[in-house]
Chain A
């Protein structure tokens, strides 16, 4: 295991639902990331947090709302999603937010929007 956990592992939701994805890292890292992985597309960076501060929002629609209460926890709040939002959502952490740092990934949450 990488030291990064994600819950739930699978989520099915309707377009009018509100749900949250949770990520926790046990590595003492200061940076956390949300990525979206859709079929046959490259991994897309969504958000970056460094020392609890958001440093990157990669033009993500407002129906995705991240929250980072501390350096160990990261949430992704979901509301009024679209079917095209169905994907694998991956959380990662690194020592600090820098490309030179190795990123450690969680197992992902497989999201299906009906």
Chain B
């Protein structure tokens, strides 16, 4: 069953702009992870944020977590054409040790 839901489903921006993707989930979690998938390839882990953390940075990525709203956001600053991919949030907690993935946001960065 699906835990996280990303919003928007698709996003198209110009190179250099910032991209923000949101993830909402239904139950309490231990942590939330963001992954990226280039077309037809495997997923690549981007960042993990624990339930007791509110914000985390990694290079051009900034992730926030609001457990009271059961939501997270992924911000990619100064986007590049190479950032074009699908982005997924994944949560654990409700289903034991399983990671449950959302349906993803398709990001297209136009050069």
Contacts and interface: CB of A to CB of B under 8 A. Distances in A.
If over half of B's interface residues share one DSSP class (helix, strand or loop), that class is named, otherwise mixed; here it is strand
Contacts of B42: 2, 4, 6, 90, 92, 105-108
Contact of A43 (B33, B45, B97, B101): B101
Interface of B: 2, 30-31, 33, 35, 40-45, 48, 50, 88, 91-93, 95-104
Nearest to B3: A42
Contacts of B48: 100, 102
Interface string A58-69: 000000000000
Contact of A99 (B30, B35, B41, B104): B30
Contacts, number: 62
Given A42-B104, A43-B88, A110-B40, A102 B45 contact: yes
Contacts of B50: 100
Contacts of B103: 40-42
27 contacts: A2-B42, A2-B44, A6-B42, A42-B2, A42-B102, A42-B103, A43-B43, A43-B88, A43-B101, A45-B98, A45-B100, A48-B97, A55-B97, A92-B43, A97-B97, A99-B31, A99-B91, A99-B92, A99-B98, A100-B31, A100-B92, A102-B45, A103-B43, A103-B45, A105-B35, A107-B41, A108-B40
